[in-house]
Amino acid sequence: MINFTSKQDEKWCIEMVIKAFLDQRQGHIKQSGIPQCSRPTIPGVMSQRACTYYGARWVLAPVRNSTHIVHAPVDCAYYGQNVRKKNYLILSTDMNEKDVIFGAHEKLERCIEEAAKIFPEHSLIFVYSTCTSSQIGEDIKWVVERVKEKVQKPVIPVEVPGFGGFSQSDGHHIAQRAIISYLSGYCRKESTKPFSVNIIGEYNVAGETLVIKKLLEKIGIKVICSYTGDCDADLMQESVTAALNLLVCKSSGLLLAQFMREKYSIPFVDVSFYGLSNTINSLKKISKFFGIEHKVEMVISEEYEKIKDRLEKYKKKIFSKKAVILLGGSRIGFMAGAFKEAGLEICVCGSQFGCNIDYEAARFELPSALFIDDFNCAEIEEILLRIKPDVFIGGTREWYLAHKFGIPFLVLPQETKPYACFEGFLNMCEDLSKEIHAPVWRLI
């Protein structure tokens, strides 16, 4: 139970905590079946969800050679500059009180013109509108239409008011639509390149795009564009000539994949490069599409041979350790599979913004784990105290909380090494065993 400071507090607070759990959150916490998801967050809890704008930045920030202008008070730009532990150039209209009262479309127009002058080498401009500019009714689409001619390059509006959805996953969708509007406006398909693919929903968090690219090249397949881990305007132009799309993250890529299937008749397959069986299955799927099955078997055994010995060593160290995983949307499905393969026993699995499909995929892997949708700090604390896992896997915001309970933590997105494909799986097992067996946990 939670440790309270005074006896009296303890008594009523425990009751209240439990009551609050049952009243509003019952449907979101499930031992069997799928929890309620994609619902509004309850006010007053310390939810781990973020806003729509955050989701859009998550997808669009890595697009190279593009100018990003945030039409909002300055803070949205400040926070949005840093995405996945990397800094990106960001511009802001820095709305002030006067702009909020009288409107700021003229300012935005001037800002876009100035940005085009200052960064002539950028071939694309994204204009975001967030809470405040949406509330005062700034019509950024209209401004964009007016200014397009003057700046002589594509300007894409991205309307992402933070309240415009329940979590960041709505932002992922809007960002995809922004990419779609660029593709449909400026990219025409003339030919199809044989043995070429795009990867959709892969963000090169720790250099993963490179690892996947290398693996695919081994079986003779070229990656044109990785949305948006390795992406710029030219690559996007070229991407419509691919023969196949590989969909890694559904939450941030499904719309785009569907669009490319319809408009450019590029089919897509669901793939995942986390965990050995996921990677092998994905490779098989891809090779079947291109009719190159013979090559794949060889590559698989060759790659596995490389990591086999070291992998066994690490797997022994993490075998049947109890784990809690709290990750974003579609990660829970394939990551759960990868962690299970590594030998972890997963008791709790949760997501901030998972949808039904994500939970179904995760449930398939973990038939009896406790599932939590839109988990919050109080619940994490309860879980850590009751279940006492050997390792906790999640994001930056839960990291230090777990440490305060003396529980090892593996943070995703990871620090330096890629976790994708064969060598990535080895990295993951190595990191897990490092975290779990750090002497500090024994010294507490």
Partner 1 sequence: MATKLENTLISKANRHVTINPPKMCQPIGAMYATLGIDKAVPLVQGSQGCCTYVRYQFNRHFKEPVNIAVTSFHEDAAVFGGRRNLIEGIRNLIFRYAPKVIGVVTTCSSETIGDDIEAFIKEAYKKVREELGDEVAQSVFVVPIHTPSYAGTHVKGYDTATISYIKYFAKSKEPNQKLYIIPGMINPGDIEEVKHLLNLMGIEYSVLFDISKTLNSPLMPPKPLYPEGGTPWQELEDCANGKAILALCPHAGGSGASYLESEFGVKSILGPFPVGVENTDKFVKNVALVCGIEIPEEVKVERGLLLDAMADTCQYTMLRRAAVFGDPDIVIAVTRFLCELGMDVKVVETATPSSTFADEIKKIFDEYNIEGEILVDSDLYEFEYLAKEAGVEVILGNSKAVEVAKSVKCPVVRIGFPVYDRVGYFRYGITGYKGSIWLLDLIVNTILDYSYPHDKLHQ
Interface residue with partner 1 among 37, 111, 348, 355 (CB under 8 A) is 111
Does residue 391 bind partner 1 (CB under 8 A)? no
Does residue 253 bind partner 1 (CB under 8 A)? no
- Give the separation between CA 354 and CA 359, rounded to whole angstroms: 7
Does residue 387 bind partner 1 (CB under 8 A)? no
Residue partners of 98: CB distance under 8 A and separation at least 6: none
Tokens of 209: 């795009």
Does residue 378 bind partner 1 (CB under 8 A)? yes
Does residue 415 bind partner 1 (CB under 8 A)? no
Site for partner 1 in 47-76 (CB under 8 A): 47-54, 69, 72-76
Nearest Cα to Cα of residue 135 among 109, 94, 104, 177: 104
Interface residue with partner 1 among 5, 191, 320, 368 (CB under 8 A) is 5
Nearest Cα to Cα of residue 207 among 424, 431, 434: 424
Phi, psi of 333, rounded to the nearest 5 degrees: -65, -65
Interface residue with partner 1 among 34, 36, 38, 100 (CB under 8 A) is 100
Q: Kindly state the smallest distance separating residue 2's Cβ from partner 1, in Å.
A: 6
Q: Kindly state the smallest distance separating residue 132's Cβ from partner 1, in Å.
A: 4
Site for partner 1 in 130-189 (CB under 8 A): 131-132, 134-136, 161-167
> Which one-letter amino acid corresponds to residue 356?
N
Residue partners of 286: CB distance under 8 A and separation at least 6: 197, 216, 219, 221, 244, 246, 269, 271
Nearer to partner 1, 97 or 149 (CB): 97
Nearest Cα to Cα of residue 72 among 119, 114, 134, 147: 134
Q: Kindly state the smallest distance separating residue 290's Cβ from partner 1, in Å.
A: 41
**87-95, 141-149, 208-216, 313-321 -> range binding partner 1 (CB under 8 A):** 87-95
Q: Kindly state the smallest distance separating residue 361's Cβ from partner 1, in Å.
A: 25
Angle between helices 421-436 and 208-218 (to 10 degrees): 140
Site for partner 1 in 17-36 (CB under 8 A): 17, 19-20, 24
Q: Kindly state the smallest distance separating residue 42's Cβ from partner 1, in Å.
A: 6
Would you tell me how many other CB atoms lie within 10 Å of the CB of residue 2? 11
